[in-house]
Amino acid sequence: MTMKMRAFEKRFVNSQRHSSRVANQAEQRLRSIEPQPGQRLLDVGCGNGAAAIHLTRTFRLDATGFDIDPDQIQAAAEAANGLTDTRFIVGDATKLPFADDEFDLVYTNKTTHHIPDWRQAISEMARVLKPCGHLLYHDFFAPFGQQFPTRAAINQLAGDLSLQAVQQQSSPFHYTIILRRDSDARSRGHAGCSDLMG
């Protein structure tokens, strides 16, 4: 189960200044993997949709924003203002309502610390990711946590889910990791990821 933000958190994250910063940071992270026009993006914990909308416009992606808070989803849909390649859905990140292998890119920013069963949420993000697709993860972390995500626990889970680290960056309070899903070549008949990505 995902927890909603408190009212003061929502006021902060919905401010124009914060929304612009979130959108620009999302663009910087995606640029490192050179997304292609038409690729399908899922933004888990999309909030007011600032990142998903900006990424759709910047990279010409087909984006889906997903959040547990209906008010945030409504705000995101209004902000999209008829953008045809962007949609927003209310739901629980531990039970994503999407088929396996549906998205080329899954993005999540400061979301998993709100989710008690964050391991299940990340597992769901990996499930809906296409072979050779990328999961871009950024959140707070706790050096010694129980329920709160830690770098070691995230790295361990990524390995269990056949996600390979492409980039990692950490600060005293934040962890960013870009992961690529294995091609599953033997079971799916795909070439290796390096072959597919040139």
| pLDDT given at position 89 | 98
Instruction: Indicate the helix (H) or strand (E) that contains 33.
Output: none
Please report whether residue 108 resides in a domain. no
User: What's the pLDDT band for 171 if we cut at 50, 70, 90?
Assistant: confident
In order of 134, 162, 165, 179, the CA distances from 157 in angstroms are 15, 9, 12, 11
Please report whether residue 53 resides in a domain. yes
Residues 119-139 pLDDT 10s: 999 999 999 999 999 999 999
Please report whether residue 36 resides in a domain. no
Q: Does residue 186 have a pLDDT over 50? A: no
Residues 136-145 pLDDT 10s: 999 987 765 5
Please report whether residue 176 resides in a domain. no
* Overall number of domains in the chain: 1
Residues 72-108 pLDDT 10s: 999 999 999 889 999 999 999 999 999 999 999 999 9
Please report whether residue 74 resides in a domain. yes
Please report whether residue 65 resides in a domain. yes
Please report whether residue 82 resides in a domain. yes
Containing structural domain, residue 75? 47-86
Helix (H, G, I), strand (E, B) or coil at 196: helix
Please report whether residue 59 resides in a domain. yes
Separation of alpha carbons 84 and 111, rounded Å:
26
